[in-house]
Amino acid sequence: MALDRWIALVILMICLAYGYAAFFTMDAGLAPFMKRNPIWPSTFPKILSVLAVLTALTVLLGLEKGAAEPKPMEINYRRLTEYKLGQALMLLALMVAYALLLRPFGFLLSTLAFLTIGSLILGERRLHILLPVAAIAAGLVWYLVQVVLGIFLSPWPAFMANGG
């Protein structure tokens, strides 16, 4: 089996576990008044898990490859050192750092840093474009979550929030 299908199988297993949690365990602790709402906190995870399972099955069964297309070059796991593993590992480390620093640094600063450093890792060098775009993206996402959805998301570092 090709490497892409093995990866799809792993993703399928993760999505099935995520879907099980979304469909059967997330709504158990809901308050009674929330059970009458048309959209529950588990609605998006349910949709996401179904779409992810369908996508993983599409790759696993090979449905994404058309019959008329020439066979694309497959990833050769014996030549992994020739791929840009350094960038991928740095991005994974950056994601972990983002998750750990989100609360102490606040959403705006940590998201701005994540977007900027991630873009630099991927090769973007025009900081005069990168910084305003990252700042606008972080601010827009914070605004949508905080104001539109009404979910509290601390924008500032922990030492600036709550008076100390």
> What is the 3-class SS of 47-76, one letter each residue?
HHHHHHHHHHHHHHCCCCCCCCCCCCCCCC
Q: Residues 38, 39, 43, CA angle at the centre, nearest 5°?
A: 135
Same domain, 99 and 64: no
How does residue 114 score in pLDDT terms, banded at 50, 70 and 90? very high
Q: What is the mean pLDDT of residues 13-20?
A: 92
Is residue 37 within a helix (H) or strand (E), and if so which, with residue range? none
Same domain, 61 and 96: no
Same domain, 72 and 95: no
**pLDDT score, position 66:** 60
Does residue 131 carry a pLDDT above 50? Answer: yes
Q: Residues 85, 112, 132, CA angle at the centre, nearest 5°?
A: 110
Q: What is the mean pLDDT of residues 84-107?
A: 91
Does residue 148 carry a pLDDT above 70? Answer: yes
Q: What is the mean pLDDT of residues 53-67?
A: 82
Q: What is the mean pLDDT of residues 11-30?
A: 86
Give the residue among 59, 65, 25 at the shortest CA–CA distance from 45. 25
Same domain, 55 and 22: yes
Q: What Cα–Cα distance (Å) separates residue 21 from each residue in 12, 13, 35, 51? A: 14, 13, 17, 15
**Least confident residue range of 104-108, 138-142, 157-161:** 157-161
Residues above pLDDT 90, as percent of the chain: 42
Range of the domain at 114: 84-164
pTM of the model: 0.55
How does residue 17 score in pLDDT terms, banded at 50, 70 and 90? very high
Same domain, 88 and 157: yes
As a whole number, the mean pLDDT across the chain is 84
How does residue 33 score in pLDDT terms, banded at 50, 70 and 90? confident
Higher pLDDT, 112 or 77: 112
Domain total of the chain: 2
**pLDDT score, position 76:** 65
Whether residue 40 contacts residue 27, with contact meaning beta carbons closer than 8 Å, is answered with yes
Same domain, 99 and 113: yes
Q: What Cα–Cα distance (Å) separates residue 58 from each residue in 1, 12, 16, 46? A: 15, 10, 15, 18
Q: Cβ of 156: how many Cβ atoms within 10 Å? A: 13
